[in-house]
Amino acid sequence: MGKTVLIVEDERAIVEIVKFNLQREGYETMEALDGETGLELAKTGDPDLVLLDVMLPKMNGFEVCTAIRASGSAVPVIMLTAREEESDKVFGLEAGADDYITKPFSMRELLARVKANIRRRAMDAGTRAAGENLLQQGALTVDLQSVSVKKNGVSIEVTQKEFDLLTCLLTNPGKVFTREELMTKVWNYDYFGDMRTVDVTVRRLREKIEDDPGEPKYIRTKRGAGYYCEVEN
């Protein structure tokens, strides 16, 4: 069955061209022309991915993304941001988006991002052998099968990229990853990328999993080098 992409965008011309191209690639689509409708469809329509514009009537894209995450959904969200507004990228990630594309974007780039974000999720959810499903680190348990994180048995809501980042570090304990490496591994960017994306995602993740985000135990910073997870004794 085809994967479903929810397009939340108030410019009809963009909706139509994106819809046309996604359908040609075999995706099913749902559309919303304002933020409220977009949020409703994200909750009830069970999309596999959400393309979310920032400037929208009724609710803006940041508010919609925040509300999607507040509802407990980990659906991959790609924000569509204006090229001039660098801060939009950071706001979007703060709101729980997984990725962003700056307007004007090429259809080829958009399709590549959609594919990468959906495939990543499917890989996480589907292809692990039994017994390989749980990662343990201190009080943290990461379930690769159900794509979920628990601390002392209590569920922690994380986005797809937060999950991917955590999994990447936990499966390579002691290895220091540079921001560039994390960009490539977690965001599939081998061509460009804003390194703040990595820092913002690490900060958000620390706020969720660390006892004291200022003194992180799980995701450590190697000054001038990158991030790593301590080898457990």
Structure tokens at 184: 């490539």
- DSSP-derived 3-state class of residue 60: coil
Closest CB to Ca ion among residues 79, 166: 79
Task: Work out whether 10 is an interface residue with Ca ion (CB under 5 A).
Answer: yes
Asked whether the beta carbons of 186 and 161 are under 8 A apart, the reply is yes
Closest CB to Ca ion among residues 60, 178: 60
Contacts 24+ apart (CB under 8 A), 17-22: 17/107, 18/51, 18/107, 18/110, 21/107, 21/110, 21/111, 22/111, 22/114
Q: How far is the CB of 95 from Ca ion (least distance, A)?
A: 16
Question: CA of 174: how far to CAs of 38, 105, 221, 224, in Å?
Answer: 42, 38, 11, 16
What is the per-residue binding string for Ca ion in 54-73, x denoting contact by CB under 5 A?
-x------------------
Residue number closest to Ca ion, CB atom: 55
Closest CB to Ca ion among residues 53, 194: 53
What is the per-residue binding string for Ca ion in 25-54, x denoting contact by CB under 5 A?
----------------------------x-
State the residues that interact with Ca ion by CB under 5 A. Answer: 10, 53, 55
